[in-house]
Amino acid sequence: MRSVVALAVGLAMGGLLTVIGMNSLRKGTAYPNGVMAVMAAQMGHLEAQRKAGACSAEDLAAPLGTLAALGNDLEPAFLPTADNAAFSALSGDYRAAVDAATGAVLDCKQLEVKLDAISASCKACHQQFKG
Ligand code: HEC
């Protein structure tokens, strides 16, 4: 009888700890995944606007503003990494690419060049840090 009780308690504890563990794993990844998902969505919006010919400073202010704000969340979301200094440098490159597009785009051709530069900064970080 005692062993049956011990088994039941053990199973209950195991189940509980699994739930706690899964929750903390999910919390740990929701933030970085969320930052990346919104970045990807905003890049998609910008690409769609470029194709639609909506490239005035006013058209671009909201998506570029969101990309700029998300740039401030790179380190808080991802650190610590295997190489924090390199991660911060790549984050800085991303922020510089977004800054360079903000207020500097006059037409869709220029937007294409600026978007390519932002994409290149995404890829540079992914090459080193995305498993
Ligand atoms: C400074 C580093 C850094 C920058 C800049 C960066 N990312 Fe990421 N990104 C990562 C890391 C690290 C991962 C992997 C996260 C993981 O595996 O949990 C990732 C993952 C992603 C994913 C999910 C990957 C997948 O395979 O599903 C998407 C989408 C994404 N990034 C889009 C972007 C876009 C779009 C940009 C630029 C506008 C960008 N990222 C800029 C570091 C960065």
3-state per-residue secondary structure call for 36-84: HHHHHHHHHHHHHHHHHCCCCHHHHHHHHHHHHHHHCCHHHHHCCCCCH
2 lies in a domain?
Answer: no
Check if 64 has its Cβ closer than 6 Å to any atom of ligand 1. Answer: no
With the most atoms of ligand 1 within 8 angstroms of its CB, the residue from 99, 126, 127 to mutate is 126
Q: What is the model's pTM?
A: 0.84
pLDDT of 4 above 80: no
94 lies in a domain?
Answer: yes
Residues of the domain holding 33: 29-129
Cα(56)–Cα(108) distance, rounded to whole angstroms?
A: 8
Cα(112)–Cα(99) distance, rounded to whole angstroms?
A: 15
61 lies in a domain?
Answer: yes
Instruction: State the pLDDT confidence band at 21, using cuts at 50, 70 and 90.
Output: low
**CA 72 to mean position of chain CA atoms:** 10
Lowest mean pLDDT among 10-14, 31-35, 82-86: 10-14
**Ligand 1 centre and the CA of 47: distance in Å?**
17
Judge whether 87 and 125 are in contact, CB under 8 Å.
yes
Which residue's CA is the closest to the ligand 1 atom numbered 22? Answer: 36
22 lies in a domain?
Answer: no
Looking at residues 31-52, what average pLDDT do you find? 97
115 lies in a domain?
Answer: yes
38 lies in a domain?
Answer: yes
11 lies in a domain?
Answer: no
CB atoms within 10 A of CB 70: 19
The total of structural domains in the chain comes to 1
Q: Which atom of ligand 1 is nearest to the CA of 88?
A: 1
Please state, rounded to an integer, the average pLDDT across all residues of the chain: 88
What's at 42, amino acid-wise?
A: Q
Check if 130 has its Cβ closer than 6 Å to any atom of ligand 1. Answer: yes
Residue 96: give its domain's CATH number. Answer: 1.20.120.10
